[in-house]
Chain A
Amino acid sequence: AQSVTQLDSQVPVFEEAPVELRCNYSSSVSVYLFWYVQYPNQGLQLLLKYLSGSTLVKGINGFEAEFNKSQTSFHLRKPSVHISDTAEYFCAVSDIGNEKLTFGTGTRLTIIP
């Protein structure tokens, strides 16, 4: 069984400042990794995913994440945030060959004008 840990439940950041949202996972097998964004009262939108290959993955809205196998991490970063980035961010993992996604508890990103 796999698990996902998002240590930061809330992250306040000033507008145009950089941000990193942390995600660590555990699994006994190789995994796929995902970051999703959820705006209030909406479903989830995929930001980016790591399947294989380059460990640095670029996604939509200027976000990127780096897969670190040795540290079992997949932290999400953006060099300069915007007010519109205010949302809940979820890290998720699935075992390769298993369709189920396991989600972290989410990080609420609040952008301060």
Chain B
Amino acid sequence: GAVVSQHPSWVICKSGTSVKIECRSLDFQATTMFWYRQFPKQSLMLMATSNEGSKATYEQGVEKDKFLINHASLTLSTLTVTSAHPEDSSFYICSARAGTGTTEAFFGQGTRLTVV
């Protein structure tokens, strides 16, 4: 199956700093990527949808200026958590689809962010 690689798998940062998380599709071109946030023992909440070469579409309640998403190529999307605070600590997961009309999304292994 298709592989989506997410990096780093875990990161600890100081409050007020920014953290970048990368999501790469290794063996296919991902026209659409999705970013999710998962709180402990809860489900995945969609944060935003990004299409290559265009601005991301954010879900209601997600701060665009805080969670910057860039999808500059067909194999890479990045999520930058700016001015991180302890409440941003969470598990972030990306997923990617190979194209429009396809039905399966492939998930990265997730990034655990801890802000201290």
Interface residues of A (CB under 8 A from B): 32, 36, 41-46, 49, 51, 90, 94, 99-106, 108
| Interchain CB contact under 8 A, A100 and B97 | no
Distance A46 CA – B3 CA, assembled complex (angstroms): 12
Known contacts A42-B109, A45-B107, A46-B104; A100 and B49 CB within 8 A of each other: yes
Q: How large is the interface on B (under 10, 10 to 19, 20 to 34, 35 or more residues)?
A: 20 to 34
| Interchain CB contact under 8 A, B103 and A49 | yes
Total number of residue pairs linking A and B with CB closer than 8 Å: 53
Binary flags per residue of B26-61, CB closer than 8 Å to A gives 1, else 0: 000000101000000111101001000000000000
| Interchain CB contact under 8 A, B32 and A99 | yes
Counting from the closest, the 4 A-B pairs by CB-CB distance are A43-B107, A44-B107, A43-B109, A103-B43
| Interchain CB contact under 8 A, B110 and A43 | yes
